[in-house]
Amino acid sequence: MNENQNNCEQLRELLIERIKEFPCEGFIENDGFLKILMADEISTEQASVLASNGQIYQDYLPSCFKVNNLDNIMNTENQNNWIYLHIYFILKDNNISLLFWYNNNSENADHNSFENSSVYILEREDLIFNMSDVVNYKRYIDDFRDYYLNVAKYRNITTYITYPMSKIKNNFKRYNSCFFLRGGRFYMGIVRPNLMLEILRDNCNVPTISTGRFAHFDMGDLRP
């Protein structure tokens, strides 16, 4: 058996195990078996391509965002039964960071109000909620957009990325310290900023395609 055949057999075995272990509760609510089960994870090679595409933004976006306390946040927000997580790029105190916004709004086109939702800002590798700072959240989002369009001078902006919570619950059982890596995804003929989740394979609910220590996921929809 040559190397390609051997790799194919290993992949086939992993996929069979993935199907056996898939947490199918609530399956009818999802968008399709293959999409939920397999399409979110990307191979190491695909992750490398997205990371390479994202290098065009290296002077303007950090290569990764480390999050240490996602377990605590997810445990809290899962109890609130939010349907979506929107991750925004923000500019705060001259630093690019991320804003995590949980709610039930699929489009989330208006960021003037943060009522009926949960919102956190990534600071020093932890997601923080600061009641006194909420009034500034809209400005942080707008400042990033202004920075990206007028300082970086890119027109292919990604303001935020939307993740269905059902996918997150199906794919992961815990997080520990994880990383959101800068990437670049082709969208309508242009490369737009993207985020890939890098997480320990042991933290995934089902066997992964990757055979290394980490698995990579590209689950979100680029917005706008």
Three-class SS string for 168-223? HHHHECCCCCEEEEEEEEEECCEEEEEEEEEEEHHHECCCCCCCCCEEEECCCEEE
Instruction: Give the Å distances, CA to CA, from 10 to 40, 54, 135, 208.
Output: 19, 30, 52, 11
Residue 61: give the domain boundaries. 3-223
Distance in angstroms (rounded) separating the CA atoms of residues 188 and 45: 22
Q: Is 189 helix (H, G, I), strand (E, B) or coil?
A: coil
Domain count, the chain: 1
What pLDDT is attached to residue 178?
97
Residue that wins the pLDDT comparison between 158 and 38: 158
pLDDT of residue 199 exceeding 60, the answer is yes
User: Hunting for tokens 């709004």 — which residue is that?
Assistant: 105
Per the confidence metrics, is the pTM higher than 0.75? yes
Q: What does the pLDDT look like over 207-218, one tens digit per residue?
A: 788 888 999 999
pLDDT of residue 196 exceeding 50, the answer is yes
